[in-house]
Amino acid sequence: MSRVFNFSAGPACLPQAVLERARDEMVEWQAAGMSVMEMSHRGKAFMSIAEKAEADLRQLMGISSDYSVLFLQGGASSQFAMIPVNLLRGKSTADYINTGAWSKKAIAEAKRYCDVNVAATDEANNFTGVPPQSEWNLNKHAAYVHYTPNETIGGVEFPFVPETDGVPLVADMSSTILSRPIDVSKYGLIYAGAQKNIGPAGLAVVIVRKDLIGEVLEDQPSMFDYAIHDKNDSMYNTPPTYGWYLAGLVFEWIKLKGGVKAMAEINERKAKKLYDAIDASDFYANPVVPECRSWMNVPFTLANPDLDKTFLEEAEKVGLTALKGHRSVGGMRASIYNAMPEEGIDTLVGFMADFEKKHA
């Protein structure tokens, strides 16, 4: 077997130890006589899997009992709609911070339900940073403030948590959740598609303050109501059981590694190695202002874009895969979530130096 270093932005690589455990439990889960995929979601076996996953996530992130943790389907993209549907609560406007492609999608969807006040945007700088909060134009009547702490495509990360003066703060943490400690109590709602830092595609995790739910817009589908999911422990309908199970294995793996604090140290070191390599050379470049550079997604360009194709082909040959940048940005992008081993970064950095020597 030869597993590659997979730099895909999502679905992304999973910890090998998790895959091996899932393999060992695939056909028969812990003497249950069947695989996790075949179990009733309401049976004792799956209930224990579900409860343990939630308890571990709560412990890892320090989530208090003031918050519900929901395991839903529909990806992060469904949350773009579910957030206004549930959190407007009689108000007609919400604040959004626009730092790139995913912010824009969230904004476009929210516009179906309310007046969106784009309180700050980095569009004039081609989304290479985060506007300082002193320049934001927040509306004190907003139902909530939405932002994207890590823009997966642009590789832009907030170096601060916004202050919203009591207005609920909503964060799309799809590509940064569990990469470091955060203070959950500063948030009204946190959501993430699983396929970057949690598990396989098909699961979305929503962490929402309980006092914010239950006042959904009229005439919405039941599946769009957080309160219904909360009341039913995310089992109003059949939940994505296998994804939930795998997420649980990833949470256990993070705990074993030392929790999110340990992850942060590793992630910071991994990212620094890669940015240092990019900055030390005129052959490679990253456009993001240094204090807003993402630990998770590192876009970079070659000084001569005619070499892009050769770079990708030669990288592939040494087991470095999915480095092609997003079609909207071009160049390269290395997504280096929790599950990317440090050895993957070392191999990439070594390859980049060799490639430069050969082609500069």
| Active-site residue, selected from the candidate residues 29, 56, 95, 102 | 102
C-alpha to C-alpha distance for 278 and 285, rounded to whole angstroms: 6
Give contact residues for ligand PLP (rule: CB under 6 A).
Answer: 10, 75-77, 102, 148, 152, 172, 174-175, 193, 196
The answer to whether the beta carbons of residues 258 and 247 sit under 8 Å apart is no
State the minimum distance, in angstroms, from the CB of residue 297 to ligand PLP: 8
User: Which sign does the torsion angle of CA 351, 155, 248, 35 carry?
Assistant: negative
The answer to whether the beta carbons of residues 173 and 150 sit under 8 Å apart is yes
Amino acid letter for position 33:
G
Name which of 152 and 179 has its Cβ closer to ligand PLP: 152
Buried b (16+ CB within 10 A) or exposed e, 81-115: bbbbbbbbeebeebbbbbbbbbbbebbebbeebbe
C-alpha to C-alpha distance for 285 and 302, rounded to whole angstroms: 7
Scan for tokens 């203070």, then name that residue: 183
β-strand pairing of 204-209 with 67-72: antiparallel
State the minimum distance, in angstroms, from the CB of residue 72 to ligand PLP: 11
State the minimum distance, in angstroms, from the CB of residue 196 to ligand PLP: 6
Told to judge if 102 belongs to the known catalytic residues of this protein, a careful annotator would answer: yes
Name which of 284 and 337 has its Cβ closer to ligand PLP: 337
| Active-site residue, selected from the candidate residues 95, 136, 196, 295 | 196
Q: Would you call 32 exposed, middle or buried from its count of C-beta atoms within 10 A (0-12, 13-18, 19+)?
A: middle
Told to judge if 172 belongs to the known catalytic residues of this protein, a careful annotator would answer: yes
State the minimum distance, in angstroms, from the CB of residue 105 to ligand PLP: 7
Name which of 148 and 234 has its Cβ closer to ligand PLP: 148
Could you tell me the CA-to-CA distances from 142 to 75, 87, 98, 104 in Å, in that order? 25, 10, 16, 18
Report, in this order, helix, strand and coil percent for the chain, each rounded to 5.
Answer: 40, 15, 45
State the minimum distance, in angstroms, from the CB of residue 80 to ligand PLP: 8
| Active-site residue, selected from the candidate residues 56, 122, 172, 233 | 172
Told to judge if 211 belongs to the known catalytic residues of this protein, a careful annotator would answer: no
State the minimum distance, in angstroms, from the CB of residue 100 to ligand PLP: 9
Other C-beta atoms lying within 10 Å of the C-beta of residue 62: 13
Name which of 246 and 352 has its Cβ closer to ligand PLP: 246
**Catalytic site residues?**
102, 172, 196
